[in-house]
Chains A and B, each alone.
Chain A
Amino acid sequence: MVKRRDLLKLAAMSVVAGPAPAFAAMARNGKADVVVIGSGGAGFSAAITAHDLDAKVIVFEKMPIIGGNTQIASGGMNAAGTRYQEAAGVKDTWKLMYDDTMKGGYNRGIPALVEVFAKNSAASLDWLVSLGADLSTVGRTGGASVDRSHGPKDGGPVGPQIIGALRNSIAKRKIDVRTRSDVTHILMNVKGAVNGVLVKDYFGHTYEIEAKSVILASGGFSANLTMVTKYHPEYAGFATTNQPGATGEGITLAQELGAQLRDMDKIQIHPTLAAGTNILVTEAMRGAGAIMVNREGKRFINELSTRDVASAAILKQTGKSAFLIFDDGLRKQMALIEGYFHLGFVKEGQNPAELAKTSGIDATALAETIASYNKYKAAKSDPDFKRADMPRSIEPPKFYSIEVQPGIHYTMGGVLLNATAQAVGRNGTPIPALFAAGEVTGGVHGANRLGGNSTSETITFGRIAGSGAAAYAKKS
């Protein structure tokens, strides 16, 4: 192992220079064309793409299960100009998606990246569908000008659809995926090109995989409160919607190699976690017609506001929480709402006053709010908060509420990447053989991410990274 290495930067140096591994029989040093770090939407998309370009791929996942945050993504996948939008009569273009994304991110997104993101979104969706995902319905999420959030026909969560299709495709291709395998260092030669990884297995044994290129797809750091509060001390004690493995080690790995980071302080607070839990209540509920009120029974914001705006508004309400209000019609329309009933999040009533009582909301005001909103819906005009899309009114027989409060949801910042998904160094040039995709990167979403844009980004840049890494491996 030592002989092969020209140079191992920073902390990795000490690992290689140390005593020979004591686990001769356990050692599984090996080779691959492309190593992928992470098995979420980005990692698996990259792995499949690289494999299909004849690269020998190994995927490392530190958690005991695959899927990352994509597995638990509940909302949808944004894509512009898709066949499903066309079938639904939705007129959308990549430019409109670009504009929405730039605007939603306060023009902090890198235009070249956002363009790639928006232009490739429909093709990414088609690719997933070709792998077996059902993304046939379209809906609205905050910050989108039109219905472009795609999900399965039954209104269920989008994550299992995406990961299910990717997992099956990985299995079909017999791609080597190693769970409970933590990449502790990315290796680099004297020329500054990445050429392998050190991996710690379940038993704590470290081994090396030599690789021609490496794709970092290890996710964000929302589940690492220490890291989050380094940038935002005011988030101390916040819950997170993320899977427990979203702890940001990939960012440290890239830093060791001299990668440039961007927007690390841009951390998204999701407005609607079920109060007192770390379970996200999908934004798609509001898109599909739920309204949001405070304890005083009044709406206080356009429900389709971007996440940062909605979160800030909720934190200003009494008790720093709010209530989603919906009816039986919406319950029947969205399969995943049933899960919130199972989880015990939902209060109910036969009428607004009864619901208000069970929920701890002002009864008179709630009844008035619902009546007013229904009138606005009928008139297609919301004079109070200018909500543009009101797909349904709130009607008997039953009324429901879910108390929600903000929590840490997404880290917009990370490793700077270029339009070909290469990680960019502090000197502004790409780090040879190091590619990146998904939440570990920064630059696409700017200062705030729109709902449904993350799944889309992971697939698009995962595919670009897979393709780039395979091509790089072929050359070297």
Chain B
Amino acid sequence: MIINVLRPFAAVILALGLVAISHSAFAQEKVATTGVCSRCHELAKVLPDGHPKVAATGIAACSTCHDKAKVGASAANPFSTRLHTAHAQADTACSVCHQWKPGKEFTAAGFKHGVAPLAGDEFTLVMKAMKDWAGSGNLDSIHRGKNVTCTACHGKDLIPDSNMTAVNGQCVSCHGGLEKVAASFKGASYLNPHASHLGPIACTTCHNGHKESKAYCLDCHANFKMPIPGGAPAAAKPTGK
């Protein structure tokens, strides 16, 4: 179970340099166990009640326990989500915990290897997306509420292609394909957005991770009422005639 819970978090953790929980290879890349956290925090004060005493003052040390290969206290402990949420909501600059060489590497402090070598604008995209994830009404934030972080949707490549291939694949992987989602629709069948005349369209046609979602149907059928998670507040249930 812990593997399933934490698997999605790998890139975010690495991207923000908080902890490498994704796989043991990263654990072996640790080079420092001191520093980053203690720049801002007195660790004894920010650790939760009952947390074992730690001597280290850096993130890498945390992965000793907060690693997907471990079991026990970290099993139901979305370490990545909690840390990223708190820091992003507090407007903490990425660079506090991360080392970034534009176009070359983006590394978690305390680890040798980073994730995708984010170029300038890619870094901006990730930063904006992270902030959105931490505190918007969009789908990313809704997913955060369920402890879902970047790689759960994006896979290891944070920047998707224009088709959002990996993202759409992940949508289907967790939520099922159009047919399955359509089956759960409670409104009138002809207004079922997952069984439309447009055929097998991509999830991301309507469902946006980092901006407001909107049913594509509305571009032509402006009179439809089509509530959508992460969309503008929906006034009513779908109606027909």
- In this assembly, does A180 line the interface, its C-beta being within 8 Å of a C-beta of chain B? yes
Q: How far is the CB of B161 from chain A (nearest CB, A)?
A: 7
Given contacts A23-B119, A343-B221, contact A163 B190 (CB under 8 A): no
- In this assembly, does B121 line the interface, its C-beta being within 8 Å of a C-beta of chain A? yes
Q: How far is the CA of A157 from the CA of B161 in the complex (A)?
A: 32
- Asked if B121 contacts A205 (CB within 8 A), the reply is yes
- Asked if B240 contacts A342 (CB within 8 A), the reply is yes
Q: How far is the CB of B29 from chain A (nearest CB, A)?
A: 21
- In this assembly, does B215 line the interface, its C-beta being within 8 Å of a C-beta of chain A? no
- Asked if B119 contacts A179 (CB within 8 A), the reply is no
- Asked if B202 contacts A157 (CB within 8 A), the reply is no
Residues on B with C-beta less than 8 A from A72 are: 197, 220
Mask of B183-213 contacts with A, CB within 8 angstroms, 1/0: 0000010110000011111101100000000
Interface size on A, residues (CB 8 A): 35
Q: How far is the CA of A344 from the CA of B188 in the complex (A)?
A: 13
Q: How far is the CB of B193 from chain A (nearest CB, A)?
A: 13
Given contacts A64-B202, A65-B205, A201-B162, contact A24 B197 (CB under 8 A): no
Given contacts A71-B198, A160-B199, A180-B163, contact A278 B220 (CB under 8 A): yes
Residues on A with C-beta less than 8 A from B221 are: 279, 343
Q: Which of B116, B161, B216, B240 contacts A25 (CB 8 A)?
A: B116
- Asked if B125 contacts A244 (CB within 8 A), the reply is no
Q: How far is the CB of B162 from chain A (nearest CB, A)?
A: 4
Q: Which of A26, A163, A279 contacts B199 (CB 8 A)?
A: A163
Q: Which of B121, B199, B216, B222 contacts A164 (CB 8 A)?
A: B199
Q: How far is the CA of A341 from the CA of B120 in the complex (A)?
A: 52
Residues on A with C-beta less than 8 A from B10 are: none
- In this assembly, does A307 line the interface, its C-beta being within 8 Å of a C-beta of chain B? no
- Asked if B122 contacts A64 (CB within 8 A), the reply is no
Given contacts A24-B103, A65-B205, A71-B199, contact A203 B121 (CB under 8 A): yes
- In this assembly, does A181 line the interface, its C-beta being within 8 Å of a C-beta of chain B? yes
Residues on A with C-beta less than 8 A from B161 are: 28, 178, 201
- In this assembly, does B117 line the interface, its C-beta being within 8 Å of a C-beta of chain A? yes
Residues on B with C-beta less than 8 A from A449 are: none
Residues on A with C-beta less than 8 A from B201 are: 64-65
- In this assembly, does B159 line the interface, its C-beta being within 8 Å of a C-beta of chain A? yes
Mask of B138-164 contacts with A, CB within 8 angstroms, 1/0: 000000000000000000000111111
Q: Which of A67, A164, A277, A344 contacts B241 (CB 8 A)?
A: A344
Residues on B with C-beta less than 8 A from A203 are: 121, 125, 159
Given contacts A65-B201, A164-B199, contact A179 B163 (CB under 8 A): yes
Residues on A with C-beta less than 8 A from B219 are: 243-244
- Count of inter-chain pairs, beta carbons less than 8 A: 85
Residues on B with C-beta less than 8 A from A148 are: none
Q: How far is the CA of A24 from the CA of B188 in the complex (A)?
A: 48
- In this assembly, does A106 line the interface, its C-beta being within 8 Å of a C-beta of chain B? no
- Asked if A23 contacts B121 (CB within 8 A), the reply is yes
- Asked if B103 contacts A180 (CB within 8 A), the reply is no
Residues on B with C-beta less than 8 A from A243 are: 219-220
Kindly identify, within residues 95 to 114 of chain B, every residue whose CB is under 8 Å from any CB belonging to chain A. Answer: 103
- Asked if A65 contacts B198 (CB within 8 A), the reply is yes
Question: What's the dominant secondary structure at chain A's contact region?
Answer: loop
User: Nearest residue in A to B200 (C-beta to C-beta)?
Assistant: A167
Residues on B with C-beta less than 8 A from A164 are: 199
Q: How far is the CA of A164 from the CA of B197 in the complex (A)?
A: 10
Residues on B with C-beta less than 8 A from A344 are: 240-241
Residues on B with C-beta less than 8 A from A205 are: 121
- Asked if A279 contacts B162 (CB within 8 A), the reply is no
Q: Which of B122, B162, B191, B223 contacts A179 (CB 8 A)?
A: B162
- In this assembly, does B19 line the interface, its C-beta being within 8 Å of a C-beta of chain A? no
Q: How far is the CA of A180 from the CA of B205 in the complex (A)?
A: 10
Interface centre among B118, B188, B198, B221 (most CB of A within 10 A): B198
- In this assembly, does A385 line the interface, its C-beta being within 8 Å of a C-beta of chain B? no
Q: How far is the CA of A181 from the CA of B162 in the complex (A)?
A: 7
Q: How far is the CA of A69 from the CA of B188 in the complex (A)?
A: 26
User: Nearest residue in B to A65 (C-beta to C-beta)?
Assistant: B201
- In this assembly, does A202 line the interface, its C-beta being within 8 Å of a C-beta of chain B? yes
Kindly identify, within residues 212 to 234 of chain B, every residue whose CB is under 8 Å from any CB belonging to chain A. Answer: 216, 219-223
Q: How far is the CA of A244 from the CA of B219 in the complex (A)?
A: 7
Q: Which of B120, B191, B205 contacts A22 (CB 8 A)?
A: B120
User: Nearest residue in B to A243 (C-beta to C-beta)?
Assistant: B220
Residues on B with C-beta less than 8 A from A202 are: 160, 162, 164
Q: How far is the CA of A344 from the CA of B221 in the complex (A)?
A: 12
Q: How far is the CA of A202 from the CA of B168 in the complex (A)?
A: 15
Given contacts A64-B216, A342-B188, contact A180 B119 (CB under 8 A): no
Residues on B with C-beta less than 8 A from A279 are: 220-221
Q: How far is the CB of A243 from chain B (nearest CB, A)?
A: 7
- Asked if B122 contacts A23 (CB within 8 A), the reply is yes
Q: How far is the CB of A464 from chain B (nearest CB, A)?
A: 26
Q: How far is the CA of A22 from the CA of B123 in the complex (A)?
A: 11
A residues in contact (CB < 8 Å) with B: 22-26, 28, 64-65, 67, 71-72, 157, 160, 163-164, 167, 177-181, 201-203, 205, 243-244, 277-279, 339, 341-344
11 additional contacts (CB under 8 A) given A23-B120, A65-B216, A71-B199: A25-B119, A26-B121, A28-B161, A64-B201, A71-B198, A179-B162, A181-B162, A202-B164, A279-B220, A341-B241, A342-B191
A-B pairs, top 10 by smallest CB distance, nearest first, are: A342-B190, A180-B162, A202-B162, A25-B119, A344-B241, A64-B205, A201-B162, A65-B201, A181-B162, A244-B219
Question: What are 9 A-B residue pairs whose CB atoms fall within 8 Å in the complex?
Answer: A22-B120, A22-B121, A23-B120, A25-B118, A64-B205, A157-B197, A244-B219, A342-B240, A344-B241
